[in-house]
Amino acid sequence: MTKKLKEHPVDSKCGEKAEQIVREIEAAQGQKLTAEEILKKTSEYLKQEPCLTTHLIDALARIPTPETAHLLMGMMEKMDEKQVIKSIKRTLYRLKQKGVKWEEKAPKDEPILKPPKPAEPQGYLGSIDATGSRMIVIGKPQPLRGLLVIFSIVNDLEGIQEFNLKEFSKKSFNEFMKDSLASAEFPIVTAPGAYCIHILKEAASLTQSLSKPLPQGYHDAESECKDIVWDYPAPLIYQYIKEDEVKDSAHLLKDSISLHKIVPFSTWHLAAPEVQKYATRITETQQSKIVLRPDQKEARLNAIYRDALEELFPEEKRFLWKRRLEEVAYILLKTGKENEARASLSAAIDLNNPFSPIEPNPFIWNLLLKSIYILIEEDHEKKEEEKKTSLIVTP
């Protein structure tokens, strides 16, 4: 008796993802997108998750159209692995059996010796702290010289804060990333090198818009990376979780309240100068000598909170926090926290719209309350300390 082999969970997951991509390809063909446009998107999926390749190629046999054949031939031009090319030819044969006809391209005369393709840069993204700062690391392969590594700290309000160029061997760089920069609280995760360069360029543009000089070495790095372009929409998270999967999801939006219990969100708060006047008004209301019924006091406090929400989060600030939530959603996904990533993305998408006066964005509402009461608690502790000091009798 032959024993049935147990399906590997990774293969199962890849198979499910491949099925999802096939549905997207079928929809794209229905929308009359060209094979080149579909190939560009499909290639990015396969670059990020190579395990999808054979699953996807086999599943494409279920879309018997000339466009599918052109897509497969375009994939074959980009592939080097014999096993993958064999799978493509097998699927093309199955399409022919189903009666699909297409015009095959004449083979191009290619030089015997091809110049080697430049290796893709390695990319790493750090999480975002309460001020909007994060680390970006990019390792660009240098022929016969290891890696040229770009270390930078960028801020979404200030641009590039720190910048450094250094050469590493591949081995020493990988050891450095593993031993020196990894942190449980603020992890650094792998990301497409082109996307990391895109984020760095965004920060450089912000630096210049603030009339600040770019750091020494930046132009050298820019020259090294001039041919590396991110051709897909930002932020990166939408390559993995589609907006429609989390948009208008009431339970995910509600779950975003709990994000404040985990890093990095547990460290996020608004700066003291931003919330000081609201903290003062709340303290005055709570300590008022005028006797207020509980419902009156609650109404007055809610009015202060809503004034703060409206004044501290105009459209520009909403979009700033939206981008932070999107970027951290990718970090969460890469560290195995998919549910939290979806909740973060749901809260981010909700920030496309002005706040509801009845149920404002739960993540931002809790961020505001947390920030105010952190300041109130600090002011209280400071006054208590001053009181103790004043009671000390000097001899």
pLDDT tens for residues 346-368?
Answer: 999 999 999 988 899 999 999 99
In a domain? residue 112:
no
Angle 359-130-176 from CA coordinates, rounded to 5°: 135
Q: How would residue 392 be classed by pLDDT, with cut points 50, 70 and 90?
A: low
Do 350 and 382 reside in the same domain of the chain?
Answer: yes
In a domain? residue 2:
no
Lowest mean pLDDT among 9-23, 52-66, 319-333, 339-353: 9-23
Please tell me whether residue 375 adopts helix, strand or coil conformation: helix
| DSSP symbol at 358 | S
**310 CB-near residues (< 8 Å, 6+ apart):** 355
Q: How would residue 197 be classed by pLDDT, with cut points 50, 70 and 90?
A: very high
Do 282 and 363 reside in the same domain of the chain?
Answer: yes
Do 130 and 152 reside in the same domain of the chain?
Answer: yes
Do 293 and 180 reside in the same domain of the chain?
Answer: no
Do 263 and 381 reside in the same domain of the chain?
Answer: yes
Q: Is the pLDDT score of 1 beyond 50?
A: no
Do 252 and 223 reside in the same domain of the chain?
Answer: no
In a domain? residue 201:
yes
In a domain? residue 213:
yes
Q: Is the pLDDT score of 8 beyond 50?
A: no
Parallel, antiparallel, or unpaired: how do β-strands 159-168 and 122-126 relate? unpaired
Q: How would residue 293 be classed by pLDDT, with cut points 50, 70 and 90?
A: confident
Cβ(160)–Cβ(215) under 8 Å? yes
Do 39 and 129 reside in the same domain of the chain?
Answer: no
- Work out the percent of the chain whose per-residue pLDDT is above 90: 51
CA nearest 345: which of 236, 233, 264, 215? 236
Extended strands (E) in 53-172: 122-126, 133-141, 147-155, 159-168
Q: How would residue 182 be classed by pLDDT, with cut points 50, 70 and 90?
A: low
Domain boundary among 97, 114, 148: 97
pLDDT at residue 141, as a whole number = 92
In a domain? residue 373:
yes
Domain boundary among 210, 232, 254: 232
**226 CB-near residues (< 8 Å, 6+ apart):** none
212-233: pLDDT as tens digits: 999 999 999 999 998 898 988 8
Region of residue 196 (left: phi > 0; alpha: psi -120 to 50; beta: else): alpha
Q: What is the amino acid identity at position 56?
A: L
DSSP sequence for 49-69: -TTHHHHHHHHGGGS-SHHHH
Do 248 and 367 reside in the same domain of the chain?
Answer: yes
Integer Cα distance of 185 and 124 in angstroms: 16
In a domain? residue 134:
yes
- Work out the percent of the chain whose per-residue pLDDT is above 70: 90
Do 58 and 156 reside in the same domain of the chain?
Answer: no
In a domain? residue 102:
no
Q: In what helix (H) or strand (E) does residue 39 lie, and over which residues does it extend?
A: helix 35-48
Q: Give the torsion sign (CA, 315, 316, 318, 319).
A: positive
Average pLDDT, the chain: 86
**173 CB-near residues (< 8 Å, 6+ apart):** 122, 139, 146, 147, 149
CA nearest 92: which of 114, 109, 67? 67
CA within 13 Å, CB half, 84: 18
Integer Cα distance of 72 and 58 in angstroms: 10
Q: What is the amino acid identity at position 15?
A: G
Cβ(159)–Cβ(210) under 8 Å? yes
Q: How would residue 210 be classed by pLDDT, with cut points 50, 70 and 90?
A: very high
Q: Pick the residue with more confidence: 14 or 120?
A: 120
Domain boundary among 97, 112, 135: 97
Lowest mean pLDDT among 113-117, 213-217, 315-319, 345-349: 113-117
pLDDT at residue 271, as a whole number = 94
Task: Describe the strand order of the beta sheet including 133-141 as a list of residue ranges.
Answer: 159-168, 147-155, 133-141, 122-126, 188-192
In a domain? residue 117:
no
Q: Is the pLDDT score of 292 beyond 90?
A: no
The token pair at 344 is 């973060």
63-82: pLDDT as tens digits: 888 888 888 888 888 887 87
147, β-bridge pairs: 141, 168
Do 168 and 78 reside in the same domain of the chain?
Answer: no
Q: Supply the pTM of this predicted model.
A: 0.70
Domain count, the chain: 3
- Its domain, for residue 353, covers 244-387
Do 225 and 283 reside in the same domain of the chain?
Answer: no
Do 373 and 253 reside in the same domain of the chain?
Answer: yes
Cβ(25)–Cβ(72) under 8 Å? no
